[in-house]
Amino acid sequence: MTDVMQPDQSGPVGTTGIHHVSITVTDLETSLAWYERLLGADRVPMKFPHYGCEDTGYGELLVEPRSGLVFGLHTNTGNDGQPFDEARTGLDHLALNVASRADLEAWTARLDELGIEHSGIRALDQPFPFATVVFRDPDNIQLELIAVG
């Protein structure tokens, strides 16, 4: 038997971060273009069928080049075109970490340049010191940029 380190069985197995986020959108091309502009992301040149439901639609991937975070944007035959509503079961919002308050300031300038409405920087001290900028994508999904500390 080889000497393989086993995970600590007394607690949950850890994770190393987020690999990708996948969301269903009403207009795939509009959302792909929006996220490409916002993030400076690179589109992966292929379509990915929905695993186990290949006849219901497909996704396309964007890779954010600085972090490597992958955004999957999906079209689905069951989508009735209603805008996103965080009051329903499922996703509430997606928060992306940034390194500093200065990065939040740079992001607000970028959002202004792109004509994307946002909250401006809001700083809070509870439950820990942090600052955020909140905005929405073309399907009304709330996105948040957060700097902790």
In CATH, 18-82 is 3.40.50.300: no
Residue-wise burial string across 63-102, b where 16 or more C-beta atoms lie within 10 A, e elsewhere:
bbeeeebbbbbbbbeebeeeebeeeeeeeeeeebebeeee
In the structure, what pLDDT confidence band is assigned to residue 1 with cuts at 50, 70 and 90? very low
> Tokens at residue 129, please?
């010191």
Q: Treating both helix axes as pointing N-terminal to C-terminal, what angle do 101-114 and 28-39 enclose, rounded to 10 degrees?
A: 130
7 pLDDT more than 70: no
Instruction: Give the pLDDT confidence score for residue 142 in this predicted structure.
Output: 94
- What superfamily in CATH does domain 86-149 come from? 2,3-Dihydroxybiphenyl 1,2-Dioxygenase, domain 1 (3.10.180.10)
Instruction: Give the pLDDT confidence score for residue 3 in this predicted structure.
Output: 47
Identify whether the C-beta of residue 56 lies closer than 8 Å to the C-beta of residue 78.
Answer: yes
Average pLDDT, the chain: 89
pLDDT tens digits along 34-48: 999 999 999 999 998
Instruction: Give the pLDDT confidence score for residue 8 in this predicted structure.
Output: 52
Q: Where in the chain is the domain with CATH 3.10.180.10?
A: 18-82, 86-149
10 pLDDT more than 80: no
Identify whether the C-beta of residue 141 lies closer than 8 Å to the C-beta of residue 22.
Answer: no
- Taking the C-alpha atoms of residue 149 and residue 146, their distance in angstroms, rounded to an integer, is 10
Q: Looking at residues 66-89, what average pLDDT do you find? A: 90
In the structure, what pLDDT confidence band is assigned to residue 97 with cuts at 50, 70 and 90? very high
Strand, helix or coil for residue 48: strand
The 8-class DSSP code of residue 84 comes to P
Strand, helix or coil for residue 127: coil
Handedness of CA 111, 144, 34, 86 (dihedral sign): negative
14 pLDDT more than 90: no
